[in-house]
Structure 1
Amino acid sequence: MIPADVIRNIRRIQIKSSHIVDDLLVGRWHSAFKGRGMEFEEVRPYQVGDDVRSIDWNVTARAGEPFIKLFREEREMSVVLLVDISRSQDFGSVHQTKRQLVTELAATLAFSAIKNNDKVGLTMFSDMIEQSLPPRQGSRHVLRIIRELLYTDPVGTRTDITAALEHLGRTSRRRRVVFLISDFQDQGYEQALKVMRRKHDIIPVLVRDKRESELPAMGLVALRSPETGQIVEVDTTSRQCRARFHAMMIDKQKRTDQMLSRLRLEPIRLETGGDMIEPLTRYFDRRQAKA
């Protein structure tokens, strides 16, 4: 029996995500993510304005009048949500943690997929694969995804993007649309990402909290890394100390951005407490314009 508070939380996210999808994203999703190709459907008589390149000359010759071929898009597509649930995702300096933001994002993407008759799967990772659900259709499957994202307690603590990408390579032989959702607090994964982007449509989603790069002046503070457990005492009253911390974090973000740019991967950037929808719609509109 699932506890009542769990059901309420899942239902809340379902309602919020469904409204977002219906109001803003469902049309954009279809336009941004094309199907695998075009499949022949039928022929019909030629009408003024039809593209003459679509004329079926064999049928035209038999019928004695022009007919054209009609095609339909092979729409069904598989989407994989590759989601970082390492301990750093539990951080949040506003009304939500990174993991809460990630759950709402994943739910929104999953409902967008099934509204367009696409399949959606989930792989959650830390420094190991925590849980993996193969791509399927249907709202019941999406509710399972939401539940796992909300309540899976990770065994691992750190982030290993390389391991997650290698798991993707082993389990997804056919081409997928892959949303790689993480704060990217890892290194050494560029080669694995380079390999996977040749096989799959990889979309990095960078999730951050503003306090990860800015220290408030609060006196002597003991900072503990959620992933390594290391504790460092920092004098936050020192402007020089705060400036060094800010510069170090900005440099890390810059190196991640440069790496994604080298691989020609355009990220979606989200921040806790901020608007999730505007970055998504902006990305889908840009992608549609490039199609």
Structure 2
Amino acid sequence: MLTWRVPALFGLLGAAGTTVGGALSERPGLWWGMAGAAVVVALLTGLDWLVAAPAGEVRLVRSGDRQVRVGDTAEVTLTVTNASLRTLRGLVRDAWVPSAGAGEPYAHVVDLDPGESADLVARLTPTRRGDRPAVRVTIRSYGPLGLAFRQTSRRRATAGTPPWTLTALPPFTARRFLPEKLSRLRIIDGQTVIRGRGQGTEFDSLREYVVGDDVRSIDWRGTARSGHVVVRTWRPERDRRILCVVDTGRTSAGRVATEPTDDRPDPPGEPRLDAAIDAALLLAVLASHADDRVDLLAVDSQVRTTVAGTHKRSALSRLTRALAALQPSLVETDFGRVAAEVLRTERKRALVVVFTTLDPGALGEGLLPVLAQLVAKHTVLVASVSDPAVPVLAARRGDVSRLYTAAAAVRTLEEVDRLRRALTGHGVHVVEAPVDTFASAVADRYLDLKATGRL
């Protein structure tokens, strides 16, 4: 293939030939000069192409990060080795999918002697969750004169590209609430120890009686066996079961408004699914610190992913990897299947947190008919992100179009309120909060239930 230098060289030599021919006033000499320039350019271009290092004789090896949170930057290194006997002068383009957020430069300039290697670093800042694969490495090798180059074909470049996938994990922005929630959890544990036996406690151990202990805590059988007075000690209930059910149906694809910032004065909003994932991660980490067992179920018309039995050490990493690839499905959620999976997965009583949308159509026709089965065996919490734009639209007045919009918004609020009352009437706990405080509100309700022993 040719570069821009070929026509430039031909123009330069052709102009020189034209000038010489004009000075000699020989018209046939003018054409011979142009033909000679073309021959010289063709010979130089062909020689330059032959001398260029073969683009196919380049070895490629990758190394670097495999995982990164959305918004953070990862580095993946592409090691390019010139395996030919000629000097490689060229460009190497390492292409990724657009959502991988590959930064500049677009292509890397290399100048490698035979057997020499170079490390080309790609800085990736993913903008979406999930697997972000490398697409293709294209190599263009120039001759020493820069007149012609060799380039790998599309098929050969795809086949020779070393595979690499960068997994973009959820950003977990709700971790900013974690210190506060852990502090409250410690307070709950301390209050339980102080007040002794009660709701939300279980037997811990026996110890010797000291002045000030409640005489009602004396264990008389233990006292008879040991020969001195011993009392029972209690601790908060541990190893409770928490099941996070993430609805990945059509309603999870909707976006809800977020607070504008200096960088984004008009933000596009956050998908409901991302808000649910953030809240589920915060709840899982908090529950694992309380020594409770956390399970995960993502479902719409079919089960998308399941994670069973996560404990304190592995909760965050396992759940983050499982939730990274979740995407909304444009289908109606089958809540009958949800209820069947919950009853099959959780044999013992558990706190079932359903991250969904308070949609009167979806929940009224899908969840309410099967709710009695769930409430009979488990404590059910329905968590939904509220859209702050709806109350604003309901309060607007003005022309006819605004009145119709306000009427639709008021009707939506009334239907959601009726659905909330229906869920509460079945004994379901309901949490509805804006996206900025949604994860915190879910964690607070979990702590309230734990403090009162209703898990």
Measured at CA, do residues 45 and 157 of structure 1 come closer, stay the same or move farther in structure 2, by a change above 3 Å? same
Which of 276, 279, 286 aligns to 2:441? It is: 279
- Residues 34-113 of structure 1 mapped to structure 2, 5 A cutoff: 38-42=202-206, 44-61=207-224, 64-94=227-257, 95-113=269-287
What displacement does 1:181 show? 0.8
Measured at CA, do residues 62 and 180 of structure 1 come closer, stay the same or move farther in structure 2, by a change above 3 Å? closer
Please tell me whether residue 116 in structure 1 is matched to residue 290 in structure 2.
Answer: yes
Q: Deviations over 1:49-107 (max 9, x none)?
A: 11112222234345554222334444122211111111222221433221221111111
Letter of the structure 1 residue corresponding to residue 177 of structure 2: I
- 5+ long unaligned stretches in structure 2: 1-65, 69-73, 75-125, 130-165, 193-197, 258-268
- Residues 1-291 of structure 1 mapped to structure 2, 5 A cutoff: 4=74, 5=126, 9-10=168-169, 12-13=171-172, 16-21=173-178, 23-29=179-185, 31=188, 38-42=202-206, 44-61=207-224, 64-94=227-257, 95-155=269-329, 157-185=331-359, 186=362, 187-188=364-365, 189-211=367-389, 238-272=401-435, 274-276=436-438, 279-280=441-442, 283=445, 286-287=448-449, 290-291=452-453
CA distance in 2, matches of 1:286, 1:2: 35
Measured at CA, do residues 122 and 191 of structure 1 come closer, stay the same or move farther in structure 2, by a change above 3 Å? same
CA distance in 2, matches of 1:245, 1:84: 25
- 5+ long unaligned stretches in structure 1: 217-235
Task: Tell me which moved more, 52-61 or 103-112.
Answer: 52-61
Q: Deviations over 1:179-229 (max 9, x none)?
A: 11100331232242222122112111122323467669xxxxxxxxxxxxx
Are the aligned partners of 2:252 and 2:328 in contact in 1 as well (CA < 8 Å)? no
CA distance in 2, matches of 1:289, 1:116: 11
What displacement does 1:27 show? 4.1
TM-score, length-scaled by structure 2? 0.51
CA distance in 2, matches of 1:289, 1:247: 36
CA distance in 1, matches of 2:226, 2:345: 49
Structure with larger Rg = 2
Are the aligned partners of 2:218 and 2:231 in contact in 1 as well (CA < 8 Å)? yes
Letter of the structure 2 residue corresponding to residue 20 of structure 1: F
Q: Secondary structure at the match of 1:164?
A: helix
What displacement does 1:258 show? 1.5
**What is the aligned partner in structure 2 of residue 227 from structure 1?**
none
CA distance in 2, matches of 1:282, 1:136: 21
TM-score, length-scaled by structure 1? 0.76
Are the aligned partners of 1:214 and 1:242 in contact in 2 as well (CA < 8 Å)? no
Measured at CA, do residues 145 and 289 of structure 1 come closer, stay the same or move farther in structure 2, by a change above 3 Å? closer
**What is the aligned partner in structure 1 of residue 103 from structure 2?**
none
Are the aligned partners of 2:248 and 2:329 in contact in 1 as well (CA < 8 Å)? no
Q: Identity, % of aligned pairs?
A: 20
Root-mean-square deviation (CA), in Å? 3.3
Are the aligned partners of 2:222 and 2:230 in contact in 1 as well (CA < 8 Å)? yes
Q: Which has the higher contact order (CA 8 A, sep 6+)?
A: 1
**What is the aligned partner in structure 1 of residue 85 from structure 2?**
none
Measured at CA, do residues 24 and 277 of structure 1 come closer, stay the same or move farther in structure 2, by a change above 3 Å? farther
> How many pairs were matched up?
267
Are the aligned partners of 1:79 and 1:135 in contact in 2 as well (CA < 8 Å)? no
Are the aligned partners of 1:207 and 1:271 in contact in 2 as well (CA < 8 Å)? yes
What displacement does 1:119 show? 1.9
